[in-house]
Every structure is written in structure tokens, then in C-alpha cells.
């Protein structure tokens, strides 16, 4: 998720049953073939959601495919990256 | 400081990993792409020399010259991209610790590939093949796969490092 969350970072995420999902937020979700991923939500299509990374070379949302609510593990609140003194708080879409 | 705390906790609690790859983590890496590109560049240099030796400068030969140069350029770029992807995406701390000279080698490949693109220089293209073979050897070593060296069964019939997948 470069440049927002550099490789090797730790993320703290929030998860609860009636979590309100917002386009633009960073989420952890379980992908059927790629495993657990961190990506930004780009579309809310009602029945499912689309995600993509912040890097220009990130895989596109069509390659990630549709992600259903049941597969969303939570929203990223904080990331702690190597080399950074302070943690980064991702509160812009909370 | 905070990162160290998280890393310490990770060692104890083994946090789950999440991926955020820029590329699909297909794990398909093979240096043969760069080796074939290097061989092609040597071959193109040979064809360019043959054409120059012919020296009649007909429109047809001029067109052929332009095509060969364009292909040399394209394969130079292809080679650089193939090596960069393996080095940037596949090589991680364990592989780099085992082969600390890989950075220097990749940089050397980039430099020689540029030289090969800028000139019609057979010697430089052979040096490039030699460097890419060395890169392939390191790559297969990181995979625990033995290698052998044999001439490629097509022009320019130069030595290539191949993985010995039967072992």
C-alpha cells in the first residue's frame, strides 16, 4: 500500500458487526485467492465493494474483483511503519 | 521506537500478515526471459555486423538496419525490466543476506545494458549475457535448484546457465 502504508508496516484495525463502510477508507479483507489484503475502498456497489491500492502500479479493482461485506475484516485505524517515529492515524474516513 | 515495540509483540504473538502488493503476488519468476533477451541482443549485433559488411546501402538493407536496431533497443529494455522485477519483487532479506553482491550485480547489468543499447558492440552484449547468467545462477541458488551451463541450441550458440530441474 505504498506510499500510504509502506511494506513491512504494522496496522491496527477496527472491527465490529455493524461497522459502517465508507468509500475512501482503508480496509483489511480476505480475498479468495490472494489472502488477507489491505486496500482502499473505491466503490460501494451495494451487494459488494471494489478496492484498489494507492500506488500507481497497484493491481486494479477489476483484478481484485468484488469483495463482499462478510469478507471485510475491519477498517485500518493506525499504521506503524519502519523508520517513522510516530504512528500514522488513518482517521480521514472514519 | 513504536515500530520496535510492535515488532517485539509480533515475535511473541505472531500477528497475521496482510498483503498489499503492487503486483499480483503470482510468485512466477524466471530469469530465462532476461537470458533470452541477452542472447537476442548478441544475435542482433551479429546480424548488424553482417549487414554492415555487405555495405551496399540499398533501401531494403537500410530498412533492415533500422529494424535490427529497433529490436536491439526493445530487447535491451525487456532485459532491464525482467531483471529489475526479479531483483525488486523476488529478492528479499534472506536472499540478499545470502547474496549481498546482488545489488552491485544488478546495477552492473543496468549499466552494461544501457551501453549495449547505445552502441553496436558485440563484446558488450557478450558481457551482458555473462552478467545475466551470473544473475540467473544466483536466482536458482536462492531456490535451491542446481544449474548447469550449456550452449543455447540456436544462434549465437553461447553458454547459458540453465536450471537442472531433474535433480
Domain positions in chain B are 29-163
**Interchain proximity B19–A36, CB inside 8 Å:** yes
Distances (CA, A) of B125 to A29, B66, B109, B153, B158: 47, 18, 11, 18, 11
Domain spanning B29-163: CATH 3.40.50.720: no
pLDDT tens profile A23-63: 999 999 998 877 899 999 998 888 889 988 887 666 666 66
Looking at beta carbons, which residues of chain A come within 8 Å of B91?
Answer: none
Higher model confidence: residue B52 or residue A17? B52
Dihedral of CA B130/B87/B90/A61: which sign? Answer: negative
Q: What local confidence, expressed as pLDDT, does residue B24 receive?
A: 52
**Interchain proximity B24–A81, CB inside 8 Å:** no
A1 touches chain B (CB under 8 A): yes
How many angstroms away from the CA of B132 is the closest CA of chain A?
26
How do beta strands A10-14 and A72-80 pair? antiparallel
* Mean pLDDT rounded to a whole number for chain B: 92
Of B1, B6, B18, nearest to A37 by CB-CB distance is B18
Q: What local confidence, expressed as pLDDT, does residue A60 receive?
A: 65
A59 touches chain B (CB under 8 A): yes
Q: What local confidence, expressed as pLDDT, does residue A29 receive?
A: 92
Domain-wise residue ranges, chain A: 10-89
In the numeric block, the cell 502504508 is attached to: A5
The pTM is what? 0.59
Q: What local confidence, expressed as pLDDT, does residue B28 receive?
A: 73
Amino acid at each position: 500500500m505504498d506510499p500510504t502504508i509502506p511494506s513491512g508496516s504494522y496496522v491496527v484495525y477496527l472491527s465490529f458487526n455493524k461497522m459502517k463502510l465508507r468509500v475512501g477508507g482503508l480496509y483489511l479483507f480476505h480475498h479468495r485467492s490472494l489472502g488477507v489484503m489491505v486496500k482502499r475502498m473505491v466503490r460501494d456497489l451495494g451487494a459488494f465493494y471494489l478496492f484498489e491500492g494507492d500506488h500507481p502500479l497497484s493491481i486494479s479493482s477489476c483484478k481484485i474483483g468484488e469483495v463482499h461485506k462478510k469478507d471485510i475484516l475491519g477498517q485500518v485505524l493506525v499504521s506503524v511503519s519502519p523508520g517513522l517515529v510516530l504512528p500514522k492515524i488513518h482517521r480521514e474516513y472514519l | 521506537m513504536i515500530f520496535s515495540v510492535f515488532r517485539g509483540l509480533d515475535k511473541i504473538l505472531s500477528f497475521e500478515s496482510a498483503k498489499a502488493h503492487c503486483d499480483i503476488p503470482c510468485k512466477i519468476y524466471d530469469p530465462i526471459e532476461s537470458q533470452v533477451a541477452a542472447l537476442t541482443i548478441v544475435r542482433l549485433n551479429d546480424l548488424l555486423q553482417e549487414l554492415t559488411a555487405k555495405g551496399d546501402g540499398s533501401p531494403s538493407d537500410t530498412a533492415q538496419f533500422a529494424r535490427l536496431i529497433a529490436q536491439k533497443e526493445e530487447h535491451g529494455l525487456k532485459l532491464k525490466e525482467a531483471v529489475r522485477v526479479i531483483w525488486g519483487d523476488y529478492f528479499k532479506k534472506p536472499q540478499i543476506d545470502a547474496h549481498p553482491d546482488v545489488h552491485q550485480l544488478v546495477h552492473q547489468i543496468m549499466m552494461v545494458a544501457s551501453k549495449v543499447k547505445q552502441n553496436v558492440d558485440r563484446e558488450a552484449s557478450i558481457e551482458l549475457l555473462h552478467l545475466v547468467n551470473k544473475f540467473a545462477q544466483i536466482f536458482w541458488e536462492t531456490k535451491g535448484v542446481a544449474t548447469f551451463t550449456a550452449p543455447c541450441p540456436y544462434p549465437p550458440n553461447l553458454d547459458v546457465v540453465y536450471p537442472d530441474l531433474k535433480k
